[in-house]
Amino acid sequence: MNDAVTWWELIERRARATPDLAMLVDAGGRRLTFRQFRDVAERVAAGLWELGVRPGETVSWQLPTTIEAAVLMSALARLGAVQNPLIPVLREAEVDFIVGQLRARWIVVPEVFRRFDHRTMAEKVAARHDARVLVCDPATSVGGGEAGEEEAGEAGIPIGLPLGDPAVLPPLAGAGAGAGAVDADGDAVRWVFYTSGTTGVPKGVRHTDRSVLASSNGMVYQLGFTEADVASIPFPLAHIGGPGMLGLMARVGCSGVLVETFDREATPEMLARHGVTMLGSAAPFFHAYLDAQRRHGDEPLFPRLRLCVSGGAPNEPGLHTRIRAELGGAGICNGWGLTEHPVVGYAAPGSPDERMERTAGRPAPGVSVRVVRADDTPAAPGEEGELRLRGPQLFAGYTDPALDAGAFDEAGYLRSGDLGYVDVDGWLHLTGRLKDIIIRNAENISALEVEAVVLRHPAVAEVAVVGLPDARTGERAVAVVVPDPDQPAPTLAALVAFCRAEGLAPYKIPEQLELVAELPRNSMGKVLKRQLQLAF
């Protein structure tokens, strides 16, 4: 399977190789084998075609971690559309910017998710950008009639997406395909993910099928996934890690358990019932698994557990050894990646504890890491510098081409903006960031964006937003505020309410407020955020 160059080719080949193996299951009990998944995705592709979705058009979709999200991802790949996954926590301001920049023709959303009205938001955005809205609801479908057991085919489950007859689909490009065939070029841009930028403006990261699937290959190789594995998927499928994880499953034939909404008590029990062998993916989840095991008693809650996988932010000291001692398995295999380069590397199961605890693993096959000093000269082993990356997972540039010049060095390496070093044995160590980004629950938060909102509060004269270590979320956003002397000093509750009213996405809202007389600055007037981090 490793030589498949397009997403749909991989899905087709896996469905033929192991048609009856389980692929996906969700908390509601819906299940799909690999063949059923392929068949339903093709029917959804036909339903989208009948609605008017065409190859090359951009479809923005904002769905939780459900079977619908996975199916839609593959249906759009079959159509040759450009898909723009949006994490569910984004709100109108961000979605409006993204849809406008991409000139997306379609916006796919749930009716409501976590008490937020996605339909109304999408309709407002669509009206401003001449886009169409498709509401995903398992109780209904569009174009193909009502979704139900007879509509979802042999899978026998409701699918909240349009269903059609695959006979209407244009053929895939190839021998004898003729005019109008869907291009099957693995190097064509088919994915656009957005990430918080240091400017506060979201950056569109363009990927190809080949680069997305390369991240799956890296995980398979370093983490040893096989057909016997059952992976937990508690993070948004709209993340760059979503297609990476689904691609991994299709590569090796393992199954995944989708977690739409993580509940600290119910979710670990649900994952245990499904016999997961891999748990992910960040500190908040690991603490929930530990708590669940302690409630469970002496018997292992996850008797088949092989490993835990983490990435995006360093874990707290000692968490790896606690996980291994209390849950079993290899402990936490920590890794590192960016939206622009999804998998840099992982610590493989069985690596020395010190390496698993303190490093981001070793580079994946084909990935080259350069460490560069401030003067742009190569750093020595063990010497800190900016980490620069190049490999098969490297993105195809930003949606704003003006950003590309500063993103790459003269050798074509991505300037990650992260500080670290590679030791003499080849292990990656992360030490800090050049970029002003906070990583909370594996989500990137632009400090500048949050500062711009907080500064609009009438009681705020100056503000600096910094990230502080947090045992459960990795980092928490802290607003350090110089109050306006003519106004009552703001409280955290008032600041949170203000940020919500201003439309800031909930996960970006500061969780801690510190009031100071002045912000520390250097001789050039730049705020010394490191001093603030040390002070609080």
- Highest mean pLDDT range out of 49-63, 127-141, 181-195, 513-527? 49-63
Q: Tokens 């199916």 — which residue?
A: 71
Residue pair 504/468 in contact by the 8 Å Cβ criterion: no
Residue pair 322/328 in contact by the 8 Å Cβ criterion: no
Q: What pLDDT digit, counting tens, does each position of 323-332 carry?
A: 999 999 999 9
**Where exactly does CATH 3.40.50.12780 map onto the chain?**
262-433
Determine the 3-state secondary structure of 420 from DSSP: strand
**What is the pLDDT confidence band of residue 142, given thresholds at 50, 70 and 90?**
very low
**Where exactly does CATH 3.30.300.30 map onto the chain?**
437-535
Rounded to an integer, the average pLDDT of 235-255 is 96
Rounded to a whole number, what is the largest CA-CA distance in the chain? 76
pLDDT score of 198: 56
Query: Considering the domain 437-535, what is its CATH architecture?
Result: 2-Layer Sandwich (3.30)
- pLDDT at 230 exceeding the cut of 60: yes
Rounded to an integer, the average pLDDT of 509-530 is 82
Count of residues making up the chain: 536
**What is the pLDDT confidence band of residue 259, given thresholds at 50, 70 and 90?**
very high
**Mean of the per-residue pLDDT values for the chain?**
91
In angstroms, the CA 43 to CA 60 distance is 20
Q: What pLDDT digit, counting tens, does each position of 400-446 carry?
A: 999 999 999 999 999 998 888 999 999 999 877 777 789 888 888 88
262-433 CATH pick, 3.40.50.12780, 3.30.43.10, 3.40.50.300, 3.30.365.10: 3.40.50.12780
Token pair in block for residue 401: 């081409």
**Where exactly does CATH 3.40.50.980 map onto the chain?**
7-167+188-213
pLDDT score of 178: 63
Sign for the CA dihedral angle at 500, 125, 182, 67 comes to positive
Nearest CA among 31, 40, 105 for reference residue 74: 40
pLDDT score of 231: 98
Give the type of residue at 72.
Answer: L
pLDDT score of 27: 84
Token pair in block for residue 87: 């994490």
Does residue 224 or residue 154 have the better pLDDT? 224
The pTM of this model reads 0.84
Nearest CA among 395, 34, 408 for reference residue 214: 395
- pLDDT at 467 exceeding the cut of 50: yes
pLDDT score of 476: 94
CA distances from 306 to 226, 247, 254, 331 (A): 11, 20, 13, 8
Residue pair 301/288 in contact by the 8 Å Cβ criterion: no
Residue pair 421/384 in contact by the 8 Å Cβ criterion: yes
The CATH number given to 7-167+188-213 is 3.40.50.980
